[in-house]
Structures are given as structure tokens and as C-alpha cells.
């Protein structure tokens, strides 16, 4: 089988589950689509661009399938993930070659679905009842060699940010039982994992809707207590739900790394209101101050949406201003992309759309400013000694290994992969925009 994955960590996690489940039926992963008896594409629909990747992929996959059929063989074609959930039957109508279309909640049923798809075209976009949902353990067989691992703590999202498709494609928020999370972390550290990243769409609301469950902050403390956990990270955090207890954790837990991804989306209160983010610019800035008081070297990254319906020049200047005021080390920024069925479409119907050229010009300005800030943050690290968790060979240089600083910067330095999993002090010698170079300190 050949599985291609687009999108976020949730999809990567689901792909791990797919691999493990299908392995039970004898499917072995192959990098080469032309060798596969089953081709699965796990899709993302967060913006139009990722969604379009599905269509070019299917073009390729149909080619493989038709070539195979011309030789009297066959290959099964399946679409999974968020576009499958969103488009469902429409996809089947558009692509006659599709054998199987299934959404994120159907992942656990994949073995049965593949068997059925040998005889008929199959569509499964049903959501599982909250009471019946079972979180699978981290099972990606390929994850073995890495000292870092993702652990899912939550699925879905109960927020209704007006631009966002995720609540439609992933359903409501569900917290994974913390006992199970801690069990998985124990199993991972026994395998040599040193850094745990807790993942969910809105981790700060973890556990709040389950009687007797730990809160997110309590979960952080519980994970930190487990032997072998050297670093803890988490994503994604919603500023509204981040409370003083999580801020306090930055004082108490040295395992919590000094990097936080805290998506702000916009620096304008008017835009934040129309996005239904439920925080103000002031509340965001205050939170940043509190976090930095608790952890002075905290490196912040964020997400921006530029050109949201109704965004005026003044609104955008507020965003530029906030970018500088916080001094984000990095950010992901995108032009607003209208998503099917989302509440923000009403704003477009009202005529509030920002012209494409205006949005593009704003985005370019924001990204240029961000590059300058990123580079300044990197430059400021030259000469310092950083604790680096070694992850493996560097991508390009033989004899050079790479790892991450506590602030999540990639750093390359001469060394041997025998050090993978070790934390080494490294002096930073050179800064680039996206990475650092250094030398291990004897
Ligand atoms: N749950 C996370 C975000 C998940 S989506 C949170 O609440 O922060 C990741 C990022 O994609 C978002 O932060 C947002 O910046 C971007 N995004 C989501 N929908 C978008 C859309 N319709 N157009 C452009 N960017 C979008
Ligand atoms: Fe989307 Fe908002 Fe939920 Fe994030 S919090 S997944 S942006 S609805
Ligand atoms: Fe994309 Fe779905 Fe994740 S839309 S970002 S793969 S939750």
C-alpha cells in the first residue's frame, strides 16, 4: 500500500493508525505508488490549496490504476481525511475510479471498509458517538527511531471560529482519558523517546467537559512526573482557554520547553470578533506578558490569517503592530480561504470580501517583517550555549547531526548519530533565517 498524508498532526496520527490496522491484513507500505495494491490519500481541507493537492494526487493515482488495469491487474484507490469528510459523495461522483471514501472517524473501520470496497464503491463519513469513540495508541511503525513523539490527547473541536472547517470535518471535541495518555507516554519513554508533544486542536480545553478528568495543566504536571520525559511540548493552544494554571506550569516544570505556538490570527479586535475567537488583542498581549514573566526565554510562534472578510487597512496595521509588539520568532501566515459551509461565508455574501491583490500585498508585507524578526531572533542566539536534543543526521551534510534547542530552533553541528536521543550542550556559531549552526561544547 502507498499512503500519502497532507495536513496536520491529526492526519499524521490517523495515517499511523491506518498503517498499523492494514498491516494486520498483510498490507506493506511502499514509497512507490506504482508498486502498490492499495493507494490511500489522507487529505486536508483547511484552505483551498491543501484541498487542491488531492486533485493533483488523484490525477497521478488514476494513471497508475489505468496502467495496471491495462495489464489485467488492479489497484484500489481510497480517499481519507478531511476532504473525504467534507465532500463525501461528491468526490465519488467526480472520480469514477474511487473505490473508497472515508472520513477521520471511519479510520478505525478501515479493514472492513477495504474488504467491502473489493466488491462495491464504499462511502463512510459517519461520526462515532462520543461514548463509543476509542483513541488508538501511537502505533506508527515508522516512528520507532525518533527520540520525539506525538501523543494525541483530544480529537475534534467545539469552537466555531468562523473561518474554520475543522469542526465540520472532525466533529465535536473529545478528550482522551488521561490514564491512557500517561500509559502511552510510559510506553514511549521505555522505547527511548525523550520529547513528548501533546496534540489536539484546542489542548487548553482538555478534560473540562469530563467529570473527574484532569485539566490540561494537571495533565502537564502528570506527564512531567513520569520518568524519562525530558521535554514536553504541546499544540495547538487557543489563547482564550489558556489559564493561569498553565502559565504557572512554565514556572514549575523545567520539562516544558521554552517554545509556545499560540495562534493569534489577527491583531484587530474587530476582526477577532468577526472570527469569533473570543479574546481581544489586549488579552492576548497580557497573556504573552504573563507567560514571559513565568518563562523569560519563551520563544513564541503564531498563525495569522490575512484578508479576512472586512479586514480594513487599519485592521491590518493592528496585526502588523502586534507582530512587532510580541516579536514572534516565527509564524505561519495565509490569505483567508473561504471554506464550504463555514459561517464566514455570510460576510462574503454581505460584500465584505477583501480583494485578492490587497490581501496578497498585505501578506507579503507581513511575511517580510516576520523574516526580519525571525532572523533577529536567530542572530541573538549566536555565541550562546544551547541544550540540544539530537534527532539524527543533518539533511545535507555528512558528518553533521541535527537537533532542536529548547526554543525549538533547528541546529546543525558536527557529530555522530550515536548521539541521537542525547541532550548535548552546543555553542551557536552561525545564524540563518530558519536554522543555526554550532559546535558541541566539550
Ligand atoms: N486549532 C488551531 C488551528 C488549526 S488550523 C487553533 O485554533 O489555533 C491551523 C491554522 O490554519 C489556523 O490557525 C489558521 O491560521 C489557519 N486557517 C484555518 N482556516 C483557515 C482559512 N479558512 N483560511 C486561511 N487560513 C486558515
Ligand atoms: Fe478551527 Fe477554531 Fe477549532 Fe482551531 S479552535 S480547530 S481554528 S474552530
Ligand atoms: Fe487539515 Fe483536517 Fe488537520 S483540515 S489541518 S487535516 S484537521
Domain ranges of the chain: 2-124, 385-440
Residue 223, pLDDT score: 98
CA of 237 to the centre of ligand 2 (A): 10
Q: How many percent of the chain have pLDDT more than 90?
A: 93
Residue 131's pLDDT band (cuts 50, 70, 90): confident
Cα gap 352→361, rounded to integer Å: 18
Pocket of ligand 2 (CB under 6 A): 157, 159, 161, 164, 166-167, 201-202, 238
- Residues 220, 246 contacting (CB under 8 angstroms): yes
Could you tell me the CATH superfamily of domain 2-124?
Answer: Methylthiotransferase, N-terminal domain (3.40.50.12160)
- Residues 99, 76 contacting (CB under 8 angstroms): yes
Of 268, 208, 256, 260, the closest CA to residue 232 belongs to: 256
Give pLDDT tens digits for 65-111: 999 999 999 999 999 999 999 999 999 999 999 999 999 999 989 99
Cα gap 267→245, rounded to integer Å: 25
Cα gap 226→216, rounded to integer Å: 16
DSSP bridge pairs for 425: 387
What is the pTM (predicted TM-score) of this model? Answer: 0.95
Cα gap 86→331, rounded to integer Å: 27
Q: What's the average model confidence in pLDDT over 52-70?
A: 94
Give pLDDT tens digits for 335-394: 999 999 999 999 999 999 999 999 999 999 999 999 999 999 999 999 999 999 999 999
Residue 134, pLDDT score: 83
CA of 201 to the centre of ligand 2 (A): 6
Tell me the three state secondary structure of residue 215.
coil
Cα gap 271→163, rounded to integer Å: 11
State which CATH number among 3.40.630, 2.40.50, 1.10.10, 3.30.70 fits the domain covering 385-440: 2.40.50
pLDDT at 238 over 60: yes
Q: Return the DSSP state at 335.
A: E
- Mean pLDDT score of the chain: 95
Determine the residue of 201, 309, 334, 337 to mutate for testing ligand 1's pocket, defined as the one with the most ligand atoms within 8 A of the Cβ atom.
334
2-124 and 385-440 agree in CATH topology: no
Q: Which ligand is nearest to the CA of 304?
A: 1
pLDDT at 211 over 70: yes
pLDDT at 140 over 80: no
- Report the side by side order of strands in the sheet with 122-124: 2-5, 38-43, 76-81, 100-102, 122-124
Write the CB contacts of 146 (distance below 8 Å, at least 6 apart in sequence): 193, 391, 392
Amino acid at each position: 500500500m502507498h499512503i500519502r498524508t497532507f495536513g496536520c498532526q491529526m492526519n499524521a496520527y490517523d495515517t499511523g493508525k491506518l498503517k498499523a490496522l492494514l498491516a494486520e491484513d498483510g498490507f506493506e507500505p511502499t514509497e512507490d505508488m506504482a508498486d502498490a495494491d492499495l493507494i490511500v490519500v489522507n487529505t486536508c481541507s483547511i484552505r483551498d490549496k491543501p484541498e487542491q493537492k488531492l486533485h493533483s494526487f488523484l490525477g497521478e493515482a488514476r494513471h497508475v490504476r489505468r496502467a495496471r488495469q491495462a495489464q489485467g491487474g488492479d489497484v484500489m484507490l481510497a480517499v481519507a481525511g478531511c476532504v473525504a469528510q467534507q465532500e463525501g459523495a461528491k468526490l465519488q461522483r467526480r472520480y469514477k475510479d474511487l473505490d473508497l471514501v472515508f472520513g477521520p472517524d471511519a479510520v478505525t473501520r478501515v479493514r472492513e471498509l477495504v474488504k467491502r470496497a473489493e466488491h462495491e464503491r464504499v462511502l463512510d463519513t459517519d461520526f462515532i458517538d462520543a461514548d463509543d469513540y476509542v483513541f488508538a495508541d501511537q502505533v506508527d511503525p515508522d516512528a520507532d527511531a525518533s527520540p520525539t513523539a506525538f501523543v494525541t490527547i483530544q480529537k475534534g473541536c467545539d469552537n466555531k471560529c468562523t473561518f474554520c472547517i475543522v469542526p465540520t470535518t472532525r466533529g465535536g471535541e473529545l478528550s482522551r482519558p488521561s490514564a491512557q495518555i500517561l500509559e502511552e507516554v510510559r510506553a514511549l519513554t521505555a522505547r527511548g523517546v525523550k520529547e513528548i508533544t501533546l496534540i489536539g486542536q484546542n489542548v487548553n480545553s482538555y478534560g473540562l467537559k469530563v467529570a473527574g478528568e484532569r485539566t490540561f495543566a494537571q495533565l502537564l504536571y502528570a506527564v512531567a512526573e513520569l520518568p524519562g520525559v525530558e521535554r514536553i511540548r504541546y499544540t495547538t493552544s487557543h489563547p482564550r482557554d489558556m489559564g493561569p494554571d498553565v502559565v504557572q506550569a512554565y514556572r514549575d516544570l523545567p520539562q516544558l520547553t521554552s517554545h509556545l505556538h499560540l495562534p493569534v490570527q489577527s491583531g484587530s479586535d474587530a476582526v477577532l470578533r468577526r472570527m469569533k475567537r473570543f479574546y481581544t488583542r489586549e488579552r492576548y498581549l497580557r497573556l504573552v506578558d504573563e507567560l514571559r514573566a513565568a518563562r523569560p526565554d519563551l520563544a513564541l510562534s503564531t498563525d495569522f490569517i490575512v484578508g479576512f472578510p472586512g479586514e480594513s487597512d487599519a485592521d491590518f496595521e493592528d496585526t502588523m503592530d502586534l507582530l512587532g509588539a510580541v516579536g514572534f520568532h516565527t509564524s505561519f501566515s495565509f490569505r483567508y480561504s473561504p471554506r464550504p459551509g463555514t459561517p464566514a461565508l455570510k460576510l462574503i455574501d454581505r460584500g465584505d470580501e477583501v480583494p485578492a491583490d490587497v490581501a496578497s500585498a498585505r501578506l507579503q508585507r507581513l511575511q517580510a517583517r516576520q523574516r526580519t524578526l525571525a532572523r533577529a531572533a536567530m542572530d541573538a542566539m549566536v555565541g550562546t550555549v544551547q541544550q540540544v536534543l539530537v534527532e539524527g543526521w543533518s539533511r545535507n551534510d555528512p558528518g553533521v547531526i541535527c537537533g532542536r534547542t529548547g526554543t525549538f530552533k533547528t541546529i546543525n553541528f558536527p557529530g555522530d548519530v550515536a548521539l541521537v536521543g542525547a541532550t548535548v550542550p552546543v555553542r551557536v556559531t552561525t545564524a540563518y533565517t530558519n536554522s543555526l549552526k554550532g559546535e558541541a561544547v566539550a
